[in-house]
Structure 1
Amino acid sequence: MPTGEKLRIVHCFRSPVGGIFRHVRDLCDAQRAAGHEVGIICDSTTGGTYEANLIAELEPRLSLGVKRTPMQRHIGLGDLTAARRAYGVVRGMRPDVLHGHGAKGGVYARVFGSLMRLSGQKPARIYSPHGGSLHYAAETATGRFFFSIERMMDRLTDHILFVSDYERRTFEQKVGLPRAPFTLVYNGLTADEFTPVRTMPGAADFLYIGMMRDLKGPDLFIDALALAEKSLDRSLTAVMVGDGDDLGRYKRQAQDLGFGDRIRFLPAMPARDAFSLARIMVVPSRAEAMPYIVLEALAAGRTLIASSVGGIPEIFGEDSPALTQPDCEAIAAKMHLALSDHAAFHAIMPSLDDLRMRFGADVMAAAIETAYRASLKANR
């Protein structure tokens, strides 16, 4: 197809929260700026006030709009009704490119795109796993079930976009070598995100930002803070920013360990607003693909301790002393080290020049558009 031909692009994903939603918003803005018609379809039952405000801000910029319809997180009988409703919405948007993000969005996009071909439409069926089903263990019944679905969906896929080499390797190990063409495209940051954020007076010692669910490790953060207090023999303070169904459990955990108001829990907010609230940020995730929050924090000049999981070592370097195992004792040891000599610990963070070169939003958007056009050319 002609290189300059404008495209109708629809991004399909379930939950408008976290890194996937951030990734889609960045892509939408870059693709809109390139002159494409862009739209979104996502779940209408997840996300709070913060996410609703982001959608309200984004929607007027998208010529194909933001369509929200109920999408179940887990597979069940309600999926048939939800999928039928979502298919009608997507078909009416008449996309040239149907880009599915995450496990549920990936299935919907590829099945819908295949069904649309029966009626003469030929959208490119693009899939970005973003971790998704790849987080399941291969030896479990649940894992085997989801990986069998991934293998079936691979036959309906025109291109797979991996956000980290770890994600690509995991896909090959658990699902198999993709039949579809695939590309490694790192998540990208905009130029203004490389502006340093200053620490506010009276800031806490440590910061957690993320969904309040065990996969992201807020329980590890709280336990590690208690252990670091003992090793340092002084009281520590922290701020935990985020929402989720398990928030109440983490608040009880903090109270049971005697933190009282020394751990402040705050609702989701823009990451750069949260960065100023503490001196050192901790990402204690048990599993990740390529988390935006790590990139955002480093670009803002923050000091960071992060789990050595998923694609995170690809950001820092495999042997970086800033990396830790997702274990409360290991995290506590890094907390102790970082507080003992903050300047020396900060000096081991990746350079901004390296981050700009590898993780720019312009680099990300250009690589993804190349994959779109290659898929459309192959289809035609």
Structure 2
Amino acid sequence: MKICLVSHEYPRAGGGPWGGVGAYTSNIARALASFGHEVYVIGSGETESREEDDAVTVIRLPLNAPKIITQRAAGQVLDYSSRVRECVENLHGEVGLDLVEFADFAAEGYSFITSGTPRPPHVLRLHTCLEIVFKNDGREWTEETRNIADMELETIRAARHVTSPSVFLAELTAGAARISASNVRIVPNPVDTNFFTPSKGHDEALVLNPGRLQMLKGTHVLGRAIPQVLAARPAARFIFAGRDTLSGPGGASYRQHLEATLDRRALGSIQFTGEVSRTRMLELYRRAAVVVVPSIYDNFPNTVLEAMACGKAVAASRVGGIPEIIKNDEGILVTPDRPEELARAVLRYLGDRDLRENAGMNARRAAVERFSPGVIAAGMTHTYEEIVDKSREPCASA
């Protein structure tokens, strides 16, 4: 099949920082290419360009807008989606695409999907739309973010076919966009199990929290759990590895908000790395004894998948799509926003090397057997083939 994936987050050369949608797009593009598909990606760049990224053809369009979606104007989002539509149509005319996939996030497919263009067939991939983000993150709407969120919702409602990495996200988005969850096909996100691999040895006192600093990710929950961990394990150290966000009170730095609320005695045991590269993230996973993902909300977090692929003991919130990832003895699930319960889970792992190692081995096995690129590419190929077949039917719908 000739498949086009659209994501302005698709990573640029050099392996710099990327978002969750970019990570998914990179992983699934390579997995599909390895399956023998002809894969194209429409991403963003400083200038318009076309390049080969291994077996994937990447077409880059200037974003002409801030990287962070909440800092964009709705007009900028509309302009970019219009240029994406033109690019898709030109590429289809050039190579005859079988399918194009858009993300719900950032409404990149708005112009194409809402136009009712029948060819090539399209599918919308759920990641987490702004309607859900703002509801769970306690942020205040601006006129621009409200308009962008409405564009995302309109795109979801107009999409003929929709996929989701989890049942949870399918049902949550269905409620927000007023569509039927039963029409959403479930295919998990892949993790690059060839890149994210275990290594021998780690720092037995190191606890890693990967991901953005924001309320939605539960950064503050780990912050409140740290004093309890240090009371029992004074040598424990904590690394927060992810970029800061302006999601603190009044739109302030969340890191500054967190540091102001942390126990002063704990600050000497904490390190903030800021945004890190994929290679640096791998190093941090491998060094850590325990990986903590204390989300208040999360759809199908790459951080959990990556930590599991690295064979790490994971303590994560029993929320969102996380329970669809971690099963049985593959990690510890805790109640969200309960720092005492999170601290107990971390201490269980820090105090029991055998428990840690068994959880890590089970996690690695699960990552390979359920979420490796080959496994997910097979499932996605089957889904794409169903969508293409259905698009040939008259009056096809999701």
TM-score computed with the length of structure 2 as normaliser: 0.75
Contact 1:207 1:281 in 2 (8 A): yes
* Structure 1, unaligned runs of 5 or more: 1-5, 46-54
Mapped to 1, the partners of 2:271 and 2:150 lie a distance apart of: 43
Q: Identity percentage over the alignment?
A: 21
Contact 2:313 2:356 in 1 (8 A): yes
2:351 alignment counterpart: 340
Distance 1:102 1:156, change over 3 A: closer
1:3 alignment counterpart: none
Mapped to 1, the partners of 2:309 and 2:9 lie a distance apart of: 28
Distance 1:225 1:115, change over 3 A: same
Please provide the CA RMSD for this pair. 3.7
Q: CA deviation at 1:215?
A: 1.8
Contact 1:155 1:179 in 2 (8 A): no
Question: What does the per-residue CA deviation read over 1:302-359, in whole Å, with 9 as the maximum and x for residues that have no partner?
Answer: 1111111111112223898711123223222222332233423553564544443322
2:85 alignment counterpart: 87
Contact 2:7 2:22 in 1 (8 A): no
State the secondary structure of the residue aligned to 1:192: coil
Matched, 1:78 2:76: yes
Distance 1:31 1:344, change over 3 A: closer
Q: CA deviation at 1:300?
A: 1.8
Residue 2 (structure 2) aligned to one of 7, 23, 27: 7
Mapped to 1, the partners of 2:89 and 2:358 lie a distance apart of: 52
Distance 1:88 1:18, change over 3 A: same
Q: CA deviation at 1:208?
A: 1.2
2:15 alignment counterpart: none
Moved more, 136-145 or 329-338: 136-145
Contact 1:37 1:64 in 2 (8 A): no
Mapped to 2, the partners of 1:110 and 1:33 lie a distance apart of: 29
Distance 1:169 1:248, change over 3 A: closer
* Structure 2, unaligned runs of 5 or more: 12-17, 246-252, 393-398
Q: CA deviation at 1:257?
A: 2.3
State the secondary structure of the residue aligned to 1:207: strand
Matched, 1:62 2:56: yes
The residue type equivalent to 2:391 in the other structure is N
Mapped to 1, the partners of 2:380 and 2:110 lie a distance apart of: 17
TM-score computed with the length of structure 1 as normaliser: 0.79
1:163 alignment counterpart: 165
Contact 2:78 2:110 in 1 (8 A): no
Residue 132 (structure 1) aligned to one of 122, 129, 132: 129
Q: CA deviation at 1:145?
A: 8.3
2:33 alignment counterpart: 32
Mapped to 1, the partners of 2:41 and 2:2 lie a distance apart of: 14
1:236 alignment counterpart: 236
Q: CA deviation at 1:122?
A: 0.4
Moved more, 347-356 or 240-249: 347-356
| 1:1-380 paired onto structure 2 within 5 Å | 6-13=1-8, 17-43=18-44, 59=53, 61-71=55-65, 73-74=69-70, 76-94=74-92, 95-104=97-106, 107-115=107-115, 117=117, 122-133=119-130, 134-137=132-135, 152-178=154-180, 181-193=183-195, 195-200=197-202, 202=203, 204-230=205-231, 232=232, 234-245=234-245, 246=253, 248-249=255-256, 252-253=259-260, 257-266=264-273, 267-269=275-277, 270=279, 271-317=281-327, 322-327=332-337, 328-348=339-359, 350=362, 352-380=364-392
Mapped to 1, the partners of 2:196 and 2:287 lie a distance apart of: 18
Question: What does the per-residue CA deviation read over 1:15-42, in whole Å, with 9 as the maximum and x for residues that have no partner?
Answer: 8623221110011112233444433334
Mapped to 2, the partners of 1:63 and 1:294 lie a distance apart of: 29
Distance 1:80 1:132, change over 3 A: closer
Distance 1:347 1:180, change over 3 A: closer
Question: What does the per-residue CA deviation read over 1:137-167, in whole Å, with 9 as the maximum and x for residues that have no partner?
Answer: 4999969988876664345323211101211
State the secondary structure of the residue aligned to 1:288: coil
Aligned length: 359
Contact 1:164 1:311 in 2 (8 A): yes
Distance 1:373 1:329, change over 3 A: same
